[in-house]
Amino acid sequence: MGLNRFSLPAMAVIMMINAMLLSQGCLEEERIALLQIKTSFAEYPNRKPNQLSYWGKDALCCSWEGVTCSNSTTRRVVEIDLSYARYWYSSMGDWHLNASLFLPFQELKVLDLAGNGIAGCVANEGFERLSRLAKLEVLYLGYNNFNNSILSSLEGLSSLKYLYLCGNQLQGSINMKGPSKLNKLETLDLSYNNFNNSILSSLDGLSSLKYLHLDGNQLEGSINMKEFDSLSNLEELSLAGNKIQDFIALTGYEGPPRLNKLESLDLSYNKINDSTLSFFKGFSSLKHLHLRNQLDGSIDTKGLCEFKP
């Protein structure tokens, strides 16, 4: 009786420890893949410590910094955050990523590769390989050194909902053969690149887009609202930090074409003048309008009261 009385708490402790270890462990194949990623990113032996420095110190890979696993008994990796993992030596030159290293993570939903000085991918090991990750929804590629060649490799990622490409070396327009393949894309951030006005027509087909950020590019002069015809689900549009002067509506049409869901519009730090404001009267769903520009004189707000609080 005494043995049983003391053995039960001991068994409970053992079960709790095992449960804790299981909760922080991941599949062996994914643990090995994470260590391969660490080796790939650790290109320079004298690098400063970062979140990868401690990967592999123990076997509990779900507890490694930047690694998130599912709460189910499968313990599959669902998020990998490698943002700025190469920050201290990204200035040593362009670096090419082997995107195939992420293929073992079949449950992956979020991949963050921002701020690593990535200029492209190893030959035949580009982001097109990630089309096999059917659950990948969020891809952060901001603040790297990608040029326009990256765009074609992203076409097949049909599960993507959020794509961040801000702060790269993209320019001109997007030349994608089949942008409609990204038919689930809701957020697209192309801020702080070198796109010109032709970028707008390149977005045709992204009908699911809700949030579009084009801040800090080379948009200038007059913007023809016809370019936004296909973006009927757009809720937020940010065009701050360009050189936009005014907007042109369709001939014979006094309101913004099809942008009847637009709630937030940021036109700060452009060259907008007072006369342009009357154009916004037709945005009946607009809740937030940002206009940090050098507006002169009085502003005719008649009709602007249609904006919802």
CATH number of the domain where residue 127 is located: 3.80.10.10
Number of domains the chain contains? 2
Asked if residue 23 belongs to a domain, the reply is yes
84 and 117 together in one domain: yes
pLDDT of residue 9: 56
158 and 190 together in one domain: no
Structure tokens at 218: 């080379």
165 and 191 together in one domain: no
Paired with 290 in beta bridges are 266
pLDDT of residue 298: 41
User: Given 124, 142, 169, which residue is the final one in a domain?
Assistant: 169
Asked if residue 142 belongs to a domain, the reply is yes
206 and 106 together in one domain: no
Asked if residue 255 belongs to a domain, the reply is yes
pTM (whole model) above 0.95? no
Asked if residue 50 belongs to a domain, the reply is yes
Asked if residue 125 belongs to a domain, the reply is yes
125 and 189 together in one domain: no
Asked if residue 303 belongs to a domain, the reply is yes
pLDDT of residue 303: 39
Integer Cα distance of 87 and 192 in angstroms:
19
Paired with 120 in beta bridges are 96
154 and 235 together in one domain: no
Asked if residue 180 belongs to a domain, the reply is no
- Helices and strands counted in the chain (H then E): 3, 16
User: Given 141, 169, 197, which residue is the final one in a domain?
Assistant: 169
7 and 146 together in one domain: yes
13 and 129 together in one domain: yes
95 and 229 together in one domain: no
Nearest CA to 151 out of 192, 188, 110 is that of: 188
59 and 189 together in one domain: no
152 and 292 together in one domain: no
Asked if residue 178 belongs to a domain, the reply is no
127 and 11 together in one domain: yes
User: Given 134, 169, 204, which residue is the final one in a domain?
Assistant: 169
Domain hosting residue 257, numbered range:
185-309
By the 10 Å C-beta count (0-12 exposed, 13-18 middle, 19+ buried), 196 is classed as middle
pLDDT of residue 16: 44
309 residues of the chain, pLDDT tens digit each: 555 554 555 444 434 444 444 445 689 999 999 999 999 987 655 455 677 888 998 889 999 999 999 986 778 999 999 999 887 655 566 789 999 999 999 999 999 999 999 999 999 999 999 999 999 999 999 999 999 999 889 989 999 999 999 999 999 887 654 545 788 999 999 999 999 999 998 888 788 999 999 999 999 999 988 888 889 899 999 999 999 998 887 544 554 557 889 999 999 999 987 777 777 777 788 999 888 865 544 444 343 333 333
Q: Cβ(246)–Cβ(270) under 8 Å?
A: no
